[in-house]
Structures are given as structure tokens and as C-alpha cells.
Structure 1
């Protein structure tokens, strides 16, 4: 069994100067491909159930799916709740077998975010699992704007919540389909000069691959969340499969044809994380 907590995979990443991919899942087909790619590359992987995934499939079912994949994998697999917005939702994920909780209080004032996140960290640690928090709101492409992370507030947040990982807002944006942007490396350096907690980048699909690799090897960024990039790959594979035979209607046979393209796309993502390569 290779079921792991977030700390189990991020602390070695912090020491070894590489990052671990937090892969946003939507269903069995993509999560199975993500683990196959992790095994093919020898990388640990974080399977993430975000709000849209949870709206489609109940948390107890997702917990069993994640744990089944982890128990049969040869690499560490983390069962991670992404963007939990309430204490009860986080507790449900814990009870469903998740090994990592991400509480998102980034829209709240600092004091409230610290108080609420600390409460969930305490619950997670009492159960022997990990907790990620977010300081500085990460916006959405064609939606809400980001509020950049204040380094002093980030240090206070990390210290007072005792999170195992801290998501920061440094130019990253959710749901970005291109890689024309880039992260604010001066802000990243200012944050990591004040705290040694592993850092997380949400909206990693919009970060140029070369910058992902450089930051993984040269900073305390230990986790890039990747969703849009792989959803686009899945959509392309699905269209190809459907359009190959207009008369075909069996969804199992159609979905099977997404597996190999998704494994290949995920292997490409994992190759950009600098896994196992030190700065030296």
C-alpha cells in the first residue's frame, strides 16, 4: 500500500528540490491515467478532488476510488481534498479516507482565515493526516481577480496555523488555458525568506513549463496544481475517439481510448516537476 499524506511527499520534495504534481481529477478515467503516469515515471502523485469533482461524485465514493488506486500503486499516492470551503466538508473528507485536506479561507480577512484554517489543521493532525491552507486569493481567468500574497502575512499564517503546505498568490490564475504568464519570483523569494513551509501554486497550468521546473529546483515551491492542461488533453482525446466512428455509442469503448493519450500528457507534466534532480 502506498497511500501517503501530503507531508509524506512534500517534505522529501522540499529537501530534494523538486515538486509534486497535484492533479485535479474529474472521474475514474483521468485518475487512473494519472496513477499510471506516476508509476511510469517513478513520481509520487497527489490525486485532488475539487469542487466540480465533488459536485459530480460524492466524497465517500471518491475516497474509496483514491484509496483503491493508492493501495495498488507502486508510488506514493495522496488522496487530497482541494478547495474545501467548510469545516464540515473537510471533516467529511477525513471520514471518507482522504489523507490530506486543503481548506480555502483565502477570501476571508487574515484573522478569520488563520482561525478557521488552524481549526482544520488541528483536526487533520489529530487524525494523522495533512492540511494545506491558502493565503492570498488566487483568481480565475475571465473571473475574479487575484489578491497577491503579502509575505509578512504569509509568515504569520504559516506560524499560527501550522499548515503542512501553503498555497500562495504570486501571479498564478485558475483555469488559464495558455502559458503566456509567469510567476512573480521576487514575491516568492520574499515569502520563502520568512517561512520554510512547503509552498503550493494553484493554477499551475498557466505557468510556463521552464519556469515550473526552475522554481521546483530552486525554491520552496513543492507542489504545482495542474487541472486545465490535462482537462484539455482529455477533451482532445475524447473528441478524437467520438469522431472516429459516428455510429459508436458504447461509452466504455470510447473512454478506453482516452487512457493512453492522458497517460502521455500526464507524463509530460510530471517531467516538468524536476523530480529527483537536486540543484547541485
Structure 2
């Protein structure tokens, strides 16, 4: 069934669970994510990141994921990640996305709040949940020019009160696109943010966070945990190994079978760490 974040986040937080948001790039990974969610009787968020949105129009993703959601027994939220403009947000809503994120993290806080408030108004009118980012989560890839800015607790409160948002992504030592689990979470800062705010929090860049830290983070008011690189690595690395052993295979359906199963293992592991199953 198709839901938005507000339909599923509060219950998860109350149960000290975090809902995983998986970056998906088409049928193969969306199918694995949904099958695992159904097996655990758990909700899930199918996310379209900027790479995917630049590759194919969101209207096609929306049609595919929307159909899969309506036919599933699991509560499924379809989410646009890191929308940079109002037009991108509107296009996602028109494409049947039930949740969107506006990323104004590179802007001064007042500008971020001003634009977020404008977007929030039409998200409310369309029953679409709305995520923003306060502070700025860094990227491990040096080609992506983003300066890390750790989140200030009072700025989260200001955003929440002035822009009427549903959840806030925070920078507390998490980093996008890390391939190794060597990120160090600032739990003192995270605790200050949680204690000052009632708004659900979002963590981006979870692949670089150790299992022990992920488990601990379930008790800090986090409603959504973004997961991308771990699943992409499972697919890409397995496909590369398969081709080494099967250099003459060219059929797409045959090529993706083993990578899909390896993705499933990663998805199941992340669900368990976040309190499901």
C-alpha cells in the first residue's frame, strides 16, 4: 500500500525502530526491498536520489514504484531524495511520490527556511510528507563539492517551528557515499538535537556507520535512515565477479539474478540493525 512518512514514522520511533529508506534505481532493487519488507511485516521507503533522477524522468519511476506499492501488503513510501528546486519537488508530487525532500543545506539558514516553508505549503495540500536538511552532510567523494556543517540543535527547532516540516536530516558525523564503516557519530550532538526537538530526525550516509552505532541510534528519535551505497556495492561487486566467471553471458535477466540475491542479504541485514525482524 502507498503511504507517506507521517503514516509510519511515529509508530516506528515509539518502538525504537528506524524505517530504512533505500535508494533504488529500477525494478530489480525495488523488488528485493519490497520482498524483504513484506517478509518482516515492515514499512519501507523507496527513494530516488539525484543520480537516478538525472538518469530517467521521475514520472517513470513514480509509475513503476506506485504500481508496486499499491499491489504490496507492506506500507511503502515513495520518496524523492535531495530535490534542489521547487520544480523538481512539484514534478515528483505529480509523479505520485508520497514524500519529498528539499535540500537547501548549502543556503544560509534563513533562506533554507524561507524556501522550505513555501514548499511545505503545497506538500500539505497534496498530503505529501516533507523532509529538509539542517546543517550539511558531507560527501566522501572529493569530486562532489560540499562543505560539512554539523547541525546546530537550535537551528533544527527554528526550521521545525517556522517551516512546518515533517522530518529533518541532520549532520552528526555521518557522510554520504562512504564505502567503509569508519564514520564517528557525535552522539552528544545527536542527543542535544533530540532533547530540544520533537521533530523526527533523518540520517543520511548510513553505509559508513558501524553496526554498533546504528543499533545505538535507534534510541535518538530517528524516523528514517537512508541506505544507498551498501546496496549499490552489493549489486556492482557481485555483477563484476559474476562476469569474471561467466564472460560469455550477455542476457540481462541472467546477469542480474545473483546481484539481486546479494542485495537482498544487505537489505535484510540493515532491517535487523534498525530493529526489524
Q: Secondary structure, in 3 states, of the residue corresponding to 1:147?
A: coil
Distance, in Å, in 2 between the alignment partners of 1:38 and 1:244 is 31
Aligned-partner SS, 1:46: strand
* Matched positions, count: 274
Structure 1: tracts of 5 or more residues without a match: none
Q: Is the 8 A contact 1:242 1:248 kept in 2?
A: yes
Equivalent in 146, 150, 157 of residue 152 of structure 2 = 150
| Alignment check: 8 A CA contact 1:37 1:264 kept | no
How do 1:212-227 residues align onto structure 2 when only pairs under 5 Å count?
Answer: 212-216=214-218, 218-227=219-228
1:233 matched to which residue of 2?
234
State the match for 1:265 in structure 2.
266
- 2:36 and 2:253 map into 1 onto residues whose CA distance is 21
TM-superposed CA distance for 1:241, in Å, is 2.7
1:207 corresponding residue in structure 2:
209
TM-score (norm 1): 0.95
Shift of 1:239: 1.7
Q: Which of 252-261 and 111-120 deviates more?
A: 252-261
Q: Does the 8 Å CA contact 1:18/1:275 hold for their aligned counterparts? A: yes
Q: CA deviation at 1:66?
A: 1.2
Aligned equivalents of 1:66, 1:98: Cα separation in 2: 9
State the 4+ residue runs in structure 1 displaced beyond 3 angstroms: none
Q: Which residue of 2 aligns with 1:132?
A: 131
Contact between 1:79 and 1:100, CA under 8 Å: does it hold in 2?
Answer: yes
Cα distance in 2, alignment partners of residues 67 and 168 from structure 1: 28
Give, in whole Å, the separation in 1 of the partners of 2:139 and 2:240. Answer: 26
d(CA) in 2 for partners of 1:60, 1:110: 31
Q: CA RMSD in A?
A: 1.2
Q: Distance in 2 between matches of 1:40 and 1:258?
A: 19
Indicate whether 1:105 and 2:104 are aligned. Answer: yes
Q: Could you list the runs of 5+ residues in structure 2 that have no partner in the other structure? A: none
For 2:211 and 2:60, locate their aligned partners in 1 and report how far apart those are by CA, in whole Å.
Answer: 33
Match of 1:250 in 2: 251
Q: Secondary structure at the match of 2:88?
A: helix
| Separation in structure 2 between the aligned mates of residue 145 and residue 165 of structure 1, nearest angstrom | 22
Distance in 1 between residues matched to 2:215 and 2:43, nearest whole Å: 16
Cα distance in 1, alignment partners of residues 117 and 174 from structure 2: 24
Structure 2: distance between partners of 1:8 and 1:183: 28
Matches for 1:48-197 after TM superposition, within 5 Å = 48-143=47-142, 144-197=146-199
Between the two structures, name the one with larger relative contact order (CA 8 Å, sep ≥ 6).
1
In structure 2, distance between residues paired with 1:275 and 1:182: 24
Alpha-carbon distance in 2 for matches of 1:160, 1:153:
11
Rounded to whole Å, the distance in 2 between the matches of 1:84 and 1:149 is: 19
SS state at 1:271 partner:
helix
Residue 112 of structure 1 and its aligned partner are, at CA, apart by 0.4
Q: Bigger CA drift: 84-93 or 185-194?
A: 185-194
Per the TM alignment, residue 243 of structure 1 is displaced from its structure 2 partner at its CA by: 2.4
